[in-house]
């Protein structure tokens, strides 16, 4: 126990469970998308509305969780995010018309955005020294959810309806919520009301904007990789659909395994050097994707990109947790929101560019994003050596 009467191991476990739930829920919705479209007889407009509400919910949850943490507590916000996610899941099960279904999708995104943000802030809060290493281990649990969920759904989708699967998952979610309720968590800033003035000041903070800019491009790369890679491999490289999915899975697998390794490496080596070295590997992976046309070159390129990106979020969020100790929740909320905006913009711009120039531009977009990160890292290193060191 600590002097604030909470157990670090239990708190870290709670954060990992929350991140696992976020990974499972986000991947599950994509996996059952055809069944949802069929149940509600959605046309292109209806499907587009549903797919827009999910990231909008995530963005809203990410924007609001930090000020709520600093005002209320980690415990209340973690439970709130879990409850919204649960309500969204059960709403999809029992909804019969589109309006409640749309609201349910928003709730899933909103709760997921809160879970993603509060778990990162929570791990940073309990980490005295090894912020980046512990955040890297936390990220592993999203990868476990992202990798394991499609496999499990593939086994049971032919046996049970998607409503039954989601209903059981919703019932399972009561167990983590109960664990959160009876667990003790560290105290937050305890501001009087939402820290709106402080939030407005932090948005103008040059260091926070630089770190947020790094995650803006990192998240953009991840979004492009997750959403466009399979189509790029099939249409440009001539790779079969099943192999293209396997290559994409290798990216997620490499990202997850590397974060396990980083949980040890970041306790020994300089996080900044690890970060720079990682983006060099990602750059080489992009180069491999450009020049190679075979299955082998594509999978090597995607593995390299996954390995290279693994340190991005843990290291940058670690710097934020160490620097903004007074209102860490609000600081995390700002940079995670910036990162999500980067994801949305990258996918939108890629859609426009692919219409004008074809999918061949995908790896060049990623290369440009990596180069932008190098520029921001150089500026951050020059202006804020004390923070980086």
Query: Which domains, and CATH codes, for the chain?
Result: 8-183 (1.20.1250.20), 199-388 (1.20.1250.20)
Q: Percent of the chain having pLDDT more than 90? A: 47
Q: How far is CA 82 from the centre of its chain?
A: 16
Residue 3 has pLDDT above 50, yes or no: no
Q: What is the pLDDT of residues 83-108, one digit of tens each?
A: 999 999 899 888 888 889 999 999 99
For residue 129, what are the contacts with CB-CB under 8 A and spacing of at least 6?
none
pLDDT number for residue 191: 65
Q: Per-residue pLDDT tens for 316-341?
A: 999 998 888 888 888 999 999 999 99
Q: How far is CA 215 from CA 99, 209, 347, 369, in A?
A: 34, 10, 15, 10
* pLDDT on residue 6: 80
pLDDT value for 52: 83
Cβ-proximal residues to 175 (8 Å cutoff; 6+ apart), any chain: none
The string of pLDDT tens digits covering residues 203-257 is: 889 999 999 999 999 999 998 888 888 888 888 888 887 788 788 888 889 999 9
Handedness of CA 253, 254, 257, 260 (dihedral sign): negative
pLDDT of res. 325: 81
8 Å CB contact between 74 and 338 = no
CA-wise closest residue to 373 among 282, 254, 262, 300? 282
Q: What is the pTM of this model?
A: 0.87
What pLDDT, in 10s, does the model give residues 153-172? 777 777 888 788 888 888 88
């Amino acid at each position: 126990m600590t002097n604030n009467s909470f157990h670090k191991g239990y708190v870290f476990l709670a954060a990992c469970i929350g991140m696992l739930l976020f990974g499972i829920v986000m991947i599950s919705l994509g996996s059952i998308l055809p069944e949802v479209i069929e149940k509600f007889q959605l046309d292109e407009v209806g499907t587009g509305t549903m797919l827009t509400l999910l990231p909008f919910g995530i963005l809203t949850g990410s924007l609001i969780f930090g000020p709520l943490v600093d005002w209320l507590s980690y415990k209340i916000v973690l439970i709130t995010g879990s409850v919204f996610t649960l309500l969204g899941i059960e709403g999809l099960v029992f909804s019969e018309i589109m309006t409640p279904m749309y609201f349910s999708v928003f709730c899933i995104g909103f709760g997921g955005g809160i879970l993603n943000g509060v778990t990162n802030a929570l791990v940073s809060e309990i980490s005295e020294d090894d912020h980046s290493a512990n955040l890297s281990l936390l990220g592993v649990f999203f990868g476990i959810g992202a990798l394991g969920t499609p496999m499990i759904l593939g086994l049971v989708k032919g046996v049970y309806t998607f409503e039954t699967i989601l209903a059981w998952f919703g019932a399972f979610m009561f167990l983590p919520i109960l664990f959160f309720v009876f667990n003790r968590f560290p105290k937050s800033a305890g501001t009087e009301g939402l820290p709106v003035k402080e939030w407005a000041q932090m948005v103008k903070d040059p260091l926070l904007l630089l770190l947020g800019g790094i995650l803006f491009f990192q998240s953009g790369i991840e979004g492009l990789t997750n959403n466009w890679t399979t189509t790029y491999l099939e249409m440009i490289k001539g790779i079969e659909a099943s192999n293209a999915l396997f290559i994409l899975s290798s990216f997620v697998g490499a990202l997850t395994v590397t974060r396990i390794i980083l949980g040890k490496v970041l306790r020994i080596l300089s996080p900044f050097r690890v970060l720079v070295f990682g983006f060099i590997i990602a750059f080489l992976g992009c180069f491999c994707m450009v020049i190679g046309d075979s299955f082998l070159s594509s999978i090597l390129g995607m593995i390299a990109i996954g390995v290279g990106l693994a340190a991005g979020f843990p290291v940058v969020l670690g710097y934020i947790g160490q620097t903004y100790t007074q209102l860490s929740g609000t600081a995390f909320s700002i940079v995670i929101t910036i990162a999500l905006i980067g994801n949305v913009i990258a996918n939108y711009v890629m859609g426009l560019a692919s219409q004008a120039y074809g999918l061949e531009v995908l790896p060049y977009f990623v290369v440009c994003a990596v180069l932008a990160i190098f520029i921001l890292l150089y500026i951050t290193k020059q202006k804020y050596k004390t923070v980086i060191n």
